[in-house]
Amino acid sequence: MEHEPNGVLSRFQQGDLEAFESLFRLHQRALHGWILRIVRNPTAAEDVTVETFWRIYRAHARFNPARGFEGWARQIASHAALDWLRAARPERERSPQIIEDLPAPSAADAAVTAEIRRKTAQAFGRLPPKLRIAATLAVVEELPHKEVAEALGVSVAAVKLRVFRALRMLRKDLEQQGITP
């Protein structure tokens, strides 16, 4: 984790643009990586990163330097990414270009065909964004529930519930397509 030079956080809180640029340079990679994990689209991740830093700057007066920058910024990034998921049409998320952007499975279970994986990914794209974001971070990215909860600004129990609901809805969707997971 990067550390901010002394005084940068309090200067940022007062709206200092140079301090904001320092924070941007220190944290843009980490925040972009976080957003990319959620939106899973490199172009969108850049747009959402810009949107996130815009929101961060607009909220500078509400920032509490004692609580640190990274966690606060990650919460804002998660909300911006969630807004993007809500606004994105399912067709756009399922477009071949985005799927090609992702790495091909290397050690996938031989019993699970490419067709089933594709249908699972599509069904996942149809889940409510609030559930999808929790399942993406906790199941796909295998992040600890506590880290996901902090980033989403909810309790660990809420994350577990959202993951459970996401998996249940996903199974139902696949069953309706004749796939028994």
CA dist 152 → 24, 76, 101 (Å): 21, 9, 26
| DSSP summary character for residue 136 | I
Tokens 């990586």 belong to which residue?
33
Quote the least distance from Cβ 1 to other proteins, whole Å.
Answer: 14
Query: How distant is the alpha carbon of residue 38 from its chain centre?
Result: 3
Nearer to other proteins, 6 or 180 (CB): 180
Nearer to other proteins, 34 or 149 (CB): 34
Quote the least distance from Cβ 82 to other proteins, whole Å.
Answer: 11
Judged by the rule CB under 8 A, the positions of this chain that interact with other proteins are 21, 24-25, 28-29, 32-33, 36-37, 40, 42, 45-46, 49-51, 53-54, 57-58, 102-103, 105, 108-109, 112, 116-118, 120-121, 124, 128, 130, 135-136, 139-142, 164, 167-168, 170-171, 181
Quote the least distance from Cβ 121 to other proteins, whole Å.
Answer: 4
Nearer to other proteins, 102 or 157 (CB): 102
| DSSP summary character for residue 113 | -
Quote the least distance from Cβ 8 to other proteins, whole Å.
Answer: 16
Residue 132 burial by CB count (10 A; 0-12/13-18/19+): exposed, middle or buried?
A: buried
Q: For 140, what's the count of Cα atoms within 13 Å in the CB-facing half-sphere?
A: 19
